[in-house]
Structure 1
């Protein structure tokens, strides 16, 4: 199969999770019927992620049911990584369009892992602001808010797992002129780690809708 990138980062993470379940199943279950059912369910869930696949892509994904141990899983995941669609880093001009009201916009640092990224998030420590560039149901958008670190574990509004979080606070215009409404969402303190655990876009869309 040609190296045509067809996987979003969240889809890659979802497939990794299914592969882990296959490895765990083969390590704990001896019943062939149970294992066959696990394999069928796993590949069905993976194929359901896509609306369109080439025959070669489908054949490659179907090979995941051959995985039985950690070694074969690691090799398959390594091969799978080359098909991830990398996040397209925005130019400085694009960033200014995404955040038109920010006069002194801090730019993201270099060396970010765009290959395994669903959304871009970076902090301006001087203003305690967090900037997020994320896919939404209307395309890529920019979100900004005050980010307050906490010492608690809560469910992240983006990746939907219990983890170390901070409070992302946004301010939106209220119904009455001159009034504002503050909204707070717990999100991962470590955005890179959050990207590695995101297995779908539904929670991200819900987060965007709540913030906007």
Structure 2
């Protein structure tokens, strides 16, 4: 388990830093709320029921952001006006400029995260939408997997093995039903020179998993187990 301090490559100006305030997992949660509103509108004409759905969606989304500015509230406010699929798509498209992208780690940063990996190639960042990423995951060789996630003001890396299960299961990270595999990594036990293996099932497709992560709690807990 390695940590490195993170360099901000997310924007070119202070204004851009202020503008982006939505993490990928928060965006996924908001997207899920739009689906609930569209489904509710399609299933009932009861104005009271629809008002309750809008109120709950508004309340849940605002709870994601403890200290919203007035400008940020205006950006999120159109959520309560979502009725049709087109409304949802327009609203979600308008949120795109405000999504905080995952910091693209450099080759030097990867070497610091995984100093024992002498032939590390790294992820193909050109194929990854960093704005829709909560964690990076890639495999090298037959079953060697690397995970990189944010931690405080830096990045944290975990190296382990990944074995495809050939079956459907619940992913530990996104809590969705998908094709999963077993990720296992070594971590130090109470003995200074003793190691134990820890792990769990995660999505085989990390891009799909990132699209489904609606909270960082499970991801942080999963990464945290390798620090014990």
TM-score calculated relative to the size of structure 1: 0.93
- Residue in structure 2 matched with residue 89 of structure 1 by the alignment: 104
Give the unaligned 5+ runs of structure 1: none
Give the unaligned 5+ runs of structure 2: 1-14
Number of positions where the alignment pairs a residue of Structure 1 with one of Structure 2:
210
Aligned counterpart for 1:122 among listed residues 109, 116, 138: 138
User: What does the per-residue CA deviation read over 1:32-60, in whole Å, with 9 as the maximum and x for residues that have no partner?
Assistant: 11111110010000000002222121022
Q: How does 1:1-212 map to 2 (within 5 A)?
A: 4-111=19-126, 112-124=128-140, 126-136=141-151, 139-176=154-191, 178-212=193-227
Give me the whole-angstrom Cα distance separating, in 2, the residues matched to 1:20 and 1:47: 17
Q: Secondary structure at the match of 2:98?
A: coil
The farther-off stretch of 115-124 and 176-185 is 176-185
Answer yes or no: is the 8 Å Cα contact 1:136–1:204 preserved in 2.
Answer: no
RMSD, aligned CA: 1.6
TM-score calculated relative to the size of structure 2: 0.87
Answer yes or no: is the 8 Å Cα contact 2:174–2:212 preserved in 1.
Answer: yes
Answer yes or no: is the 8 Å Cα contact 1:137–1:205 preserved in 2.
Answer: no
Q: Which has the higher contact order (CA 8 A, sep 6+)?
A: 2
Say if 1:116 and 1:16 are closer, same or farther in 2 by CA, change over 3 A.
Answer: same
